[in-house]
Amino acid sequence: MGEKVFVMGDIHGNIRALDQCLDRSSIDPNNDTLIQLGDVSDRLPDTAKVVERLLEFKNLIAIRGNHDDWTNKWFLTGIVDTSWLGNGGQETIDSYNTEIVDLDKHRKFFSKTQVNYHIDRKDRIFVHGGFTHPKGPSYDLIKTQCLWDRSLWNDALIGQKLKRKPHILSGFTEIYIGHTPTLKWFQEHPMNAFNVWNMDTGAGHSGGKLTMMDIDSKKFWQSDLVSSLY
């Protein structure tokens, strides 16, 4: 692990927002650790550029998102999932048809570098969607559940209203997720409920931003609105 540890929400092909966050946070790509919570691909036009930028980090922990899973399957098989196309996949295909990159490195990023979840030495878990077993994704029957789950975040919000911590949150000191944009609650900043931090502030949507946070200090930096960048 690097000197500082930063966590970043869903990027969705938004290289302009990514570069703004990296610049504003003054993260050191040679020494600091960047944990990216998945969905680097789709919707905005620069997925290939985003992956290139992330690969510059020596201490990168890349979490796989559901959009990245679609991208990975396309890289491995050439099969284009119709659900993927309807959710921004064409922008990713176009990006790779336009940019000149080392495709083998990018295939490895989606198939090997990205992982379904990460648990650090402080029992903090980083996962794209969530999980349904208090001990974490490895105990869920469906191993890709963590790419799609929204129940953990919904349970955290309901528990917050009821002032009762859900049992699902008991297995880890902190839980960092993406996948469900905070824009649904008209929030442009990261949301917190008990020990859960939702870092998806809508970088794949015109009214959203990209966010990255120092996980120890909880200081965070954001891009400009997507609508002003593209």
Contacts 24+ apart (CB under 8 A), 85-90: 87/42, 87/43, 88/12, 88/13, 88/41, 88/42, 88/43, 88/44, 88/204, 89/41, 89/42
**Binning pLDDT at 50, 70 and 90, where does residue 181 land?**
very high
Whether pLDDT at 209 is above 60: yes
Position 2 scores a pLDDT of: 57
pLDDT digits (tens, 9 = 90+) for 52-99: 999 999 999 999 999 999 999 999 999 998 999 999 999 999 999 999
Position 178 scores a pLDDT of: 98
Q: What percent of the chain has pLDDT over 70?
A: 99
**Binning pLDDT at 50, 70 and 90, where does residue 110 land?**
very high
Q: What are phi and psi of 85, to 5 degrees?
A: -60, -35
pLDDT digits (tens, 9 = 90+) for 128-157: 999 999 999 999 999 999 999 999 999 999
Beta bridge partners, 174, equal 124
Question: Which CATH architecture is the domain 5-229 placed in?
Answer: 4-Layer Sandwich (3.60)
pLDDT digits (tens, 9 = 90+) for 3-28: 899 999 999 999 999 999 999 999 99
Position 35 scores a pLDDT of: 98
> Which residues touch 111 (CB under 8 Å, ≥6 apart)?
72, 75, 76
54 membership: H or E segment, kind and range:
helix 47-54
